[in-house]
Chains A and B, each alone.
Chain A
Amino acid sequence: MGTFFTSRLFFVSLALVVIAATLPLYVSGYVLGLLTVAFYFGVFAMAWDLLFGFAGEVNFGPTFLIGVGAYTAGILNAQYGWSVYLCIVLGALASVIAGLVLALPALRVRGPYFGLTTLVAVLMLQNFIVVFADLTGGEIGLTIPDVITINAGANYWIALGFMTISAAILYGLSQSPVGLVLQASGQDPVQAGALGFNIVKHKLAAFIVSAFFSGLSGALLVFYFGTASVGTVVDVAVGVNVIVAAVLGGRRTVLGAALGAIFLIVAGEFLRPTGELATFIVSAVALLVVLFFPGGFLGAALSREARS
Chain B
Amino acid sequence: MQAFQILIDGFAISALYALGATGFTLIFGVSGVLNLSHGAIMVAAAVAAWAAASVLGVGTYAGALIGVAVALIAAFATYFAVVKPIQDSRRIPNEEKEIFVLTGTLLWGIMIQELIAYFFTNNAKTVLPIVQGVVDVLGVRTPKNEIFTAIVCCLVIALLWLLVNRTRTGKAVLAASMNPRGVTLLGLELTNIYVVVWAIYGILAGIAGVLLGMFLGVSSYSVGPLTASAFSIVVLGGLGSVSGSLIAAFVVGYLETLTAYLVSPAYRTIPALLLLVFVMYIRPQGLLGRR
A291 touches B102 (CB 8 A): no
Q: Report if A137 contacts B (CB, 8 A).
A: no
16 contacts between A and B (CB under 8 A): A52-B99, A115-B102, A117-B280, A120-B276, A123-B273, A130-B266, A187-B95, A243-B103, A280-B111, A280-B115, A283-B108, A287-B108, A287-B111, A290-B104, A291-B104, A294-B91
How does the 8 Å CB contact mask read for A157-186 relative to B, with 1 for contact and 0 for none? 000000000000000000000000000000
Q: Which residues of A contact B85 (CB under 8 A)?
A: 291
B103 touches A237 (CB 8 A): no
B108 touches A236 (CB 8 A): no
Q: Which residues of B contact A244 (CB under 8 A)?
A: 103, 106-107
- Chain A residues 45 to 98 lying within 8 A of chain B, measured CB to CB, are 52, 56, 58
Contact A131:B115 (CB < 8 A) given known A112-B34, A291-B85: no
How does the 8 Å CB contact mask read for A233-272 relative to B, with 1 for contact and 0 for none? 0001100100110010001000000000000000000000
- Complex CA distance for A237 and B225, rounded to whole angstroms: 11
B277 touches A105 (CB 8 A): yes
How does the 8 Å CB contact mask read for B249-283 relative to A, with 1 for contact and 0 for none? 00000000000000000110110011011001100
Q: Which residues of A contact B276 (CB under 8 A)?
A: 116, 120
Q: Report if B16 contacts A (CB, 8 A).
A: no
Q: Report if A140 contacts B (CB, 8 A).
A: no
Nearest A residue to B289, CB-CB = A113
Count, A-B residue pairs, CB within 8 A? 110
Nearest B residue to A124, CB-CB = B273
Please, how many residues of chain B have a CB less than 8 angstroms from a CB on the other chain?
Answer: 43
Q: Report if B19 contacts A (CB, 8 A).
A: no
B280 touches A109 (CB 8 A): yes
Q: Report if B117 contacts A (CB, 8 A).
A: yes
Q: Report if A32 contacts B (CB, 8 A).
A: no
Contact A131:B91 (CB < 8 A) given known A277-B114, A277-B118, A287-B104: no
Q: Which residues of A contact B277 (CB under 8 A)?
A: 105, 117, 120, 124
Q: Report if B110 contacts A (CB, 8 A).
A: yes
B232 touches A294 (CB 8 A): no
How does the 8 Å CB contact mask read for B85-106 relative to A, with 1 for contact and 0 for none? 1100101100110111011101
Q: Report if B159 contacts A (CB, 8 A).
A: no
Q: Which residues of B contact A127 (CB under 8 A)?
A: 267, 269-270, 273
Chain B residues with a Cβ under 8 A of chain A: 28, 34, 82, 85-86, 89, 91-92, 95-96, 98-100, 102-104, 106-108, 110-111, 114-115, 117-118, 224, 228, 231-232, 235, 239, 266-267, 269-270, 273-274, 276-277, 280-281, 284-285
Chain A residues with a Cβ under 8 A of chain B: 52, 56, 58, 105, 108-109, 111-113, 115-117, 119-120, 123-124, 127, 130-131, 187, 236-237, 240, 243-244, 247, 251, 276-277, 279-280, 283-284, 286-287, 290-291, 294-295
- Complex CA distance for A291 and B91, rounded to whole angstroms: 9
A45 CB, nearest partner CB in chain B, Å: 13
Nearest B residue to A123, CB-CB = B273
B99 touches A58 (CB 8 A): yes
A295 touches B91 (CB 8 A): yes
Contact A58:B102 (CB < 8 A) given known A113-B235, A283-B111, A284-B111: yes
- Complex CA distance for A117 and B28, rounded to whole angstroms: 18
- Complex CA distance for A115 and B273, rounded to whole angstroms: 14
